[in-house]
A and B are shown apart, each in its own frame.
Chain A
Amino acid sequence: MAEYSGVMVHAEAEEGKLAAIATELLGCGRRLADDLGEELSAVIVGSGVSNLAAEAFASGADKVYLVDDALLQDYQTDTHVPAVEKVVRQAMPRILLLGQTSIGRDLAPRLAFRLETTATMDCIELDIDPGSKRLRRTKPVYGGNARAVFTSELDPQIATVRTKAMTPLAPDTSRKGEVVNVAAGLDSSKVRTRVLEKVKQEVEGISLEAANVVISGGRGMGGAEGFKQLEELAKMLKGAMGASRPPCDNGWVPDVLQVGLTGKIVAPDLYIAVALSGSSQHMAGCSGCKNIVAINKDPEANIFREARFGVVGDWKKVLPAFSAKVKELLAG
């Protein structure tokens, strides 16, 4: 019987290119594969995705498995899980990495249960145990209050990885590799879901994930009104506005602005948290930022344990003066 070997990355496509998370996974996968002295492959599943293989090679893959089929246009559990399952059964990777994205969150557990193996979700560190050669999967638990390290004796070892937790390799377009086309072999009568509509909730300006400056408001903003001030400040700093969960749940700002464990993961140079307590769940979304600034009236707020600079005070008084000074400094 064949043995499990190598590292495989499930590489998601986004607007005709590899998604940022795919290149991050390939960077991490390359390191793990080199540690094991084994091959790094990518599996790309979709419709019209053949041209993405070159990008996967440039980002570190030795081999690319392509499953290109019209039925794979949209992500659906009933089409994508069997497609990836087929490739995994054929290629038998020791390790399979996916992104902690809406697709990875759906795909990884389904696949793990179908293959009777284990998955660990939302990992922020992955390495090979020097003794056992098994994958050590470190992930935040209890909303980020603790970290757990898991291993498993079962292959393939599946892990999803948090966005922005790993570093991509510098693209090397001279790298080439082998492309393996795998027929999806799907039976459309077995697909029990149908995507009726895709709705984008557009937000003006720079996207949260790409912004170098993020201004986020929390529950203490008290309503939608205060966020206008944050938006103006974000514009002034050429940044983006975000929020913790309560403002989203209360409808003060759109859900897509949520920064945190179950929202967006951001890593700007400067993160200004206004009237935001800094729960672990929220900090999970911005812990990659070295310069967190807090404005909060509660000196005991957790955000002050995470921030580099802070002002203890009512944001309604602190923020306008802060913004005015920022404007003056930027103008001068």
Chain B
Amino acid sequence: MNMIVCVKQVIDPEAPPSSFRVDEAGKKVVPPAGVPPVISPFDENAVEAALRIKDVQGGKITVISMGVNLLREVVKKPLSMGADELVLLEDEAFAGGDSWSNARALALAIKKIGVYDLIFCGRQAADWDEGQVGSGIAEMLGLPGVTLARKIDVSDGKARVEQVTADGYEVVEVSLPALITVSNELGEARYPTIKGIMAAKKIEPIVWKPADIGLEPEQAGAAGRKIILQKLYQPVHEGKCEIIEGESPEEAGAKLALKLREAKLL
């Protein structure tokens, strides 16, 4: 089983909301000081999905990450969890892309890798929350896909995927090769082991530039965008919380109920 997982390095979405800053003129987010970037959480779920298949039936997992200033200790995390190979699309030209230019570059990199049965992506990245790149890659490679997976079983050249729906899930069978986007309902990603971290240290990432994957400069990153970002801003918080106090937590609790009655909310 040859598997490819696409992961994105993002600003840590768990960073306190109060540390979040937007540079409105530059239309970009200012990374919070002292908070290192992380692999986008749903992409970690995607790595976990591939590892669970490898646990059962073996196989090879190649991880692809794209961007600039990719911190090795961040993008190597999937290796320390148990993935086998890391391909980095690392170049200034890849920066500032949208769903189109990102999907195109990743699809070309996957074509260059050539051998795959399953491709995994997180359901959406923690920065732009679009959830389009997985479907875009599948379209460009002409592959079937299942989005929002919570469980995947592979046998006889097919994957049985539990796909999250609003009120439960559907079991969908898809022929391979296929692209699957993974949701958090799959369960938490495993922690790297000491052995895994040692093994990851010895793996040198393969670095590809746009020319290595046959990507024209005008189609890479910001140059290849089809959507125009007009404005980026932080919504205003009204922030007028009335704190109900009491001699004891119990008294405060009771007073809260009275307050809600007074406000006609009970």
**Which A residues lie within 8 Å of B229 (CB)?**
148-150
Write the chain A residue with the least CB distance to B104. A113
Q: A154-B226, A311-B249, A322-B254 are in contact. Are A196 and B171 (CB under 8 A)?
A: yes
Contact present for A113 and B243 (CB under 8 Å): no
The docked-state distance in angstroms from the alpha carbon of A87 to that of B248 is 64
Given A118-B100, A121-B130, A279-B17, does the pair A136, B239 have CB atoms closer than 8 Å? no
The reply to whether the CB of A172 lies closer than 8 angstroms to some CB of chain B is no
Q: How far is the CA of A310 from the CA of B244 in the complex (A)?
A: 6
A255 and B160 within 8 A (CB)? no
B13: Cβ under 8 A from any A Cβ: yes
Minimum C-beta distance from A98 to chain B (A):
13
* Selected contact of A262 from candidates B127, B173, B175, B183, CB within 8 Å: B183
| Structural contact, A77 and B13, CB atoms closer than 8 A | no
Contacting A309 at CB < 8 Å: which of B17, B103, B170, B260? B260
Q: Assess whether A102 is in contact with B226, with CB atoms less than 8 Å apart.
A: no
A24 CB to nearest chain B CB (Å): 15
Q: Collect the chain A residues with CB atoms within 8 Å of residue B164's CB.
A: 102, 255
- Asked if A199 and B17 make an inter-chain contact with CB atoms under 8 angstroms apart, the answer reads no
A295-319 interface mask toward B, CB cutoff 8 Å, 1 = contact, 0 = none? 1000000101111111111100111
Given A311-B249, A318-B253, also A293-B167 (CB < 8 A): no
Shortest beta-carbon distance, B143 to chain A, in Å?
8
| CB atoms of B256 and A293 under 8 A apart | yes
Asked if A311 contacts B244 (CB within 8 A), the reply is yes
Q: Name the residue of chain B whose CB is nearest to the CB of A78.
A: B144
Interface residue from A78, A112, A324 paired with B132 (Cβ < 8 Å): A112
B253 and A311 contact, CB distance less than 8 A: yes
- How near does chain B come to A286, taking the closest CB pair, in angstroms? 14
Query: Using Cβ atoms and an 8 Å threshold, which residues of chain A touch B243?
Result: 304, 310-312
B218, chain A: closest CB distance, angstroms: 16
Q: List B95-152 residues whose CB lies under 8 Å from chain A.
A: 98-100, 103, 123-124, 126-132, 134-136, 138-140, 144-148, 150
Given A106-B147, A194-B173, A307-B241, are A113 and B135 also a contact pair (CB < 8 Å)? yes
Contact B173 A196 (CB under 8 A): yes
Q: Which residues of A contact B173 (CB under 8 A)?
A: 193-194, 196
Q: Is the interface of A mostly helix, strand, loop or mixed?
A: mixed
- As a 0/1 sequence over residues 110 to 127 of chain A, the CB contacts with chain B under 8 angstroms (1 = contact) are 101110011111100000
Cα distance A140–B130 in the bound complex, in angstroms: 10
Within 8 A of A (CB), among B187-217: 187-188
A interface footprint on B236-266 (CB within 8 Å = 1, 0 otherwise): 0101111110101111111011111101011
Q: A101 to B166: give the CA distance in the assembly, Å.
A: 8
Please, how many residues of chain A have a CB less than 8 angstroms from a CB on the other chain? 88
Query: Is B88 on the interface with A (CB-CB < 8 A)?
Result: no
Whether A3 sits at the interface, judged by CB under 8 Å, is no
Interface string of B1-39 (1 = CB under 8 A from A): 000000000010110111010100000010000000000
Contact A262 B184 (CB under 8 A): yes
B241, A308: Cβ atoms closer than 8 Å? yes
B18's contact among A121, A147, A149, A302, by CB below 8 Å, is which? A302
In the complex, what residues of B have CB within 8 A of residue A105's CB? 131, 147-148
- What residue in chain B is nearest A143 (Cβ atoms)? B13
A109, B135: Cβ atoms under 8 Å?
yes
> Contact between B227 and A302 (Cβ–Cβ < 8 Å)?
no
From the candidates A76, A149, A245, name the one contacting B184 in the complex (CB within 8 A). Answer: A245
**What A residues does B74 contact at CB under 8 A?**
none
Judged by a CB distance under 8 angstroms, whether B155 is at the interface is no
Asked if A77 and B166 sit within 8 Å, CB to CB, the answer is: no
- CB contact under 8 A between A196 and B172, given known A142-B20, A302-B17, A311-B244: yes
Report the minimum CB–CB distance from B221 to chain A (whole Å): 16
In the bound complex, residues from chain B placing their C-beta under 8 Å from that of A317 are 248-250, 253
- 12 other A-B residue contacts (CB within 8 Å) besides A147-B235, A249-B188: A112-B132, A118-B100, A118-B227, A192-B175, A194-B174, A199-B162, A295-B253, A302-B16, A302-B18, A308-B242, A318-B252, A320-B253
Instruction: Pick the 8 closest A-B CB pairs, nearest first.
Output: A321-B253, A325-B257, A192-B144, A313-B249, A322-B253, A317-B249, A109-B135, A109-B132
Q: Can you list 18 A-B pairs, Cβ within 8 angstroms, ordered by A? A: A77-B146, A102-B148, A106-B148, A113-B140, A114-B139, A118-B99, A142-B11, A142-B128, A150-B228, A196-B160, A196-B171, A201-B168, A201-B169, A311-B246, A312-B243, A313-B252, A317-B253, A326-B260
